[in-house]
Amino acid sequence: MEKIVKDVGDIQSRLIDHRPVLQGEIRYFIREFEEKRAFRECRLLENLNKMTSDTNEHDLPRCTECMHEKLCDALTRLEAANHMAQRIQQRELEAEQNTHLQVCAERRKQDWEEFQKDQSRLKEEVDEEHAKAVGRLSAQYNDMKKDLAKYSSF
């Protein structure tokens, strides 16, 4: 009887309690999933490795060469632009200096005209003083002649 109870207990646990069967199925599913996942990840990593190798062997040298050509071209253009900018700066500086020279020349011309006016005015003053001095001397000599004429008539 004990054996029957035990058998009935086993039958009941198998019919009602599905945990051991489910756990076995779950373990099997997890094992299969991990194997397939590992296989899929391995394929993915191999594909990535192949893509990286192809890129390093083919695309990278081509891109490097293209980049070098483009950078050389850009450098040449930048040097030309820099040279043009320097020429423009030089022209502006020369124009500014020419403007400065013109301003200085105008200032010197004005100074020269003012100097000539001053000299003309001073000349007129000297001429006027000279004329006065000549007039005084002429008057003095005329007076002296008159005095001499008075004394010579004696």
State what percent of residues in the chain have pLDDT above 70.
Answer: 88
Query: Looking at residues 76-83, what average pLDDT do you find?
Result: 94
Average pLDDT over residues 29-35: 75
Q: Whole-structure pTM over 0.75, yes or no?
A: no
* Secondary structure (3-state) at 137: helix
pLDDT by residue (tens digit) across 94-151? 888 888 888 888 999 999 999 999 999 999 999 999 999 999 999 998 988 888 888 7
